[in-house]
Structure 1
């Protein structure tokens, strides 16, 4: 009887830890993602050994759909890529080139620029796509080399078509703001490290305006994603259809 009671406490504690980790992950999602349709501009800058080597500017339109987000991304610069589109509809990701007038299915794991994958610029809800485990509490250095007391989460993908197989994430204990993440392949190889920084008030919450991504093998290969021009906006469902891509006209 005593053994059953102890076992019951253990199962209850394990369930609570799992639920608490998932709640923490959901809280971090709410910090990264507005709750209504919105738009923003993302500028991706690639650096090699501290020198800028490439740059892309994207206009992103995002609409919540059943807890997840549907996204349309328009390439703004450089000129050679202007007008190209990328669409996330459910688990499908499509790339459209107006020159060929063809849309092809692509993977969220494919590189967009430097260390930034296609999936890195999409609005995602990690709490729906990953199972979270609370791995403890740690004090770490953030992207500005300041010490932060954090919760550490371990995330495992629930589907093989997600951008990353597993993630380690550190959230500020007080604010639940994402501070740092490590991204891994299925074999456990470190792909990249990301720091979320320069939080600013945007659309009703303090959100990271900059993500610094460092290559898992070459720390001198860095990609910075800068988000700006946040705005509430209606994103018509018609924009988020593959068949509509050839007719899309930015406002």
Structure 2
């Protein structure tokens, strides 16, 4: 049995390394994201030096653009009460914030912080393979979000278009399963902005997917933001929901 297991792992490793870096990146995207329209709840909690300092709960509705394959998303605030029913629309290169009290929509940058170290671009569903070019892949041991050593494939990603939220990303994926382990996000100047760990894999839509992302600030490691995903549901996302002009008329179900 042990020999069979080792042989199986060897085959997985050989298959992974035979794939191109871009194919490995796309495989990790498929683990994080379903390939059909869906909804979920994203609960964000910010910690400073181990103490909770802020929290938000968001309802997210996402579906892939049939032309480019990148996800488009509508985000609705559920909590705190002061932000309830505010909206964020992410459609291609455009991101808009809508406040129902003022009826005004304001253009946002995906890099702007939404809460803690989670940016606007972090809370929406993203296929990295659509916005980044994986320029290299190498085998490397790394620690996961539970501080366990994992044999991984290290991917170097460069922004491939203006839609990319970050200039450069280094990502580690499990060598045998292609599950994403962690990512480091860098600015154009080479500054480490933050590190994200993908954790708590659970069966969702017939596949093991991460249900928690831990984001650690690049300069202040005691500044941590945790995003937890729950209430996954396969659902239709009407095309009208993804249009800026429709935001004032949007009514939650």
Q: Normalised by the size of structure 2, how large is the TM-score?
A: 0.91
> Displacement of 1:134 after TM fit?
2.5
Q: Is the counterpart of residue 115 in structure 1 residue 117 in structure 2?
A: yes
> Displacement of 1:163 after TM fit?
1.3
Q: Corresponding residue for 2:149?
A: 147
Q: Corresponding residue for 2:172?
A: 170
Contact 2:38 2:63 in 1 (8 A): yes
Equivalent residue runs for 1:185-204 within 5 Å: 185-204=187-206
In 2, Cα distance between equivalents of 1:163 and 1:243: 24
In 1, Cα distance between equivalents of 2:58 and 2:136: 34
Q: Corresponding residue for 1:54?
A: 54
Q: Is the counterpart of residue 64 in structure 1 residue 80 in structure 2?
A: no
Which stretch shows the higher mean deviation, 42-51 or 17-26?
17-26
Give 1 or 2 for the bigger CA radius of gyration: 1
Q: Corresponding residue for 1:131?
A: 133
In 1, Cα distance between equivalents of 2:59 and 2:100: 16
Q: Corresponding residue for 2:42?
A: 42
Indicate which of 224, 241, 244 corresponds to 1:242.
Answer: 244
> Displacement of 1:160 after TM fit?
3.6
Q: Deviations over 1:179-199 (max 9, x none)?
A: 010000000000001100000
Q: Deviations over 1:24-83 (max 9, x none)?
A: 000001001101100000000000000000000000000111211110000000001001
Indicate which of 227, 230, 237 corresponds to 2:229.
Answer: 227
Q: Is the counterpart of residue 21 in structure 1 residue 21 in structure 2?
A: yes
In 1, Cα distance between equivalents of 2:34 and 2:105: 28
Paired positions, count: 235
Gaps of 5+ in 2: 1-16
Contact 1:18 1:133 in 2 (8 A): no
In 2, Cα distance between equivalents of 1:30 and 1:144: 22
Q: Deviations over 1:185-231 (max 9, x none)?
A: 00000000110000011112111000000000000000000000100
Q: Corresponding residue for 2:14?
A: none
In 1, Cα distance between equivalents of 2:136 and 2:27: 14
Contact 1:115 1:214 in 2 (8 A): yes
- Residues 179 and 47 of structure 1: CA distance in aligned 2, closer, same or farther (over 3 Å): same
Contact 1:156 1:165 in 2 (8 A): yes
- Residues 213 and 130 of structure 1: CA distance in aligned 2, closer, same or farther (over 3 Å): same
> Displacement of 1:161 after TM fit?
4.2
In 1, Cα distance between equivalents of 2:227 and 2:18: 31
Q: Normalised by the size of structure 1, how large is the TM-score?
A: 0.91
Gaps of 5+ in 1: 1-16
